[in-house]
Amino acid sequence: MSGRLTATTPIHLLSCSDLSSAKELSVALCDQLVYAVEEMVKVHTDEGITTVCRNGGSFKQ
């Protein structure tokens, strides 16, 4: 990966407590595609990602 953000490069927020903030970020970046989840995220050493609901639910991939 070159580390450069292009108009077609989606942004993945690993944790977001307020989805409206993610939308505002998208608009501020000229409608850049932003993926966000409200759940907590765990990143594994093998680059796998799992999420868990903030209310104590189970992990899911």
pLDDT of residue 1: 47
Q: How many domains does the chain have?
A: 1
| Separation in Å, CA 5 to CA 2, 35, 39, 42 | 9, 15, 25, 24
Has residue 47 been placed in a domain? yes
Residues in the chain with pLDDT values less than 50: 1, 59
d(CA 45, CA 50): 12
Q: Is residue 5 part of a domain?
A: no
**pLDDT for 27:** 92
* Residue pair 21/11 in contact by the 8 Å Cβ criterion: no
Report the candidate in 26, 28, 23, 21 with the shortest Cα–Cα distance to residue 9.
26
Q: Does residue 43 belong to any structural domain of this protein?
A: yes
Assigned domain for 38 exists: yes
The whole domain housing 46 covers: 11-60
Is residue 36 one of the residues assigned to a domain? yes
Is residue 2, in this structure, part of any structural domain at all?
Answer: no
Q: Is residue 39 part of a domain?
A: yes
Check residue 51 and give its pLDDT: 83
